[in-house]
Amino acid sequence: MNDYVVTNATVWKNFLWRRHSQTCTPIQQSLPDKVDLLQVQIIFSVLYFLVWIVAVSGNSLVLYIVTVKQGGSIFVSSFTLTVIAVDRMLLILYPSRAIITFERALSIVLGIWAIGYSLSLPNGIFSRTVHYFPYCGTFCEEAW
């Protein structure tokens, strides 16, 4: 039993810490990888640092972005349905006239998006993160 353990340990030692002969060349020397270049490592270090900074500051920015996005999407969808209803009404009242051209439709859509997100900006501007003492966590609240 004891010989078995010693033999097994020797195999593992030789397997993990192999001694290469002097005639072989490590593959990293003969085929260098681009990741090992100092310039590439510096580039990715800077990019990783930027991701880290954005993550730290981004957690507080998520509150404002999500609030504006939610409000803006509600305004945009409501205004879009209203414009569709007005378009159908004009089509019923004036069936032989082409009232909306492509350029006019594009300007209406851009106007809807601009007005919708402009109206939702106050929600994002006046939102704050607050802590309530007995409860854990940070909560989003509008401070008007």
Kindly report, residue by residue over 4-42, the tens digit of the pLDDT.
555 555 555 555 555 655 677 767 677 777 777 888 889
Instruction: List the domain boundaries for the chain.
Output: 62-142
Q: Give the per-residue pLDDT at 21.
A: 59
Collect the ranges in the chain with pLDDT lower than 70: 1-22, 26, 28, 58-59
Q: Which residues contact 117 (CB under 8 A, 6 or more apart)?
A: 68, 72, 75, 76
Return the amino acid letter for 95.
Answer: P
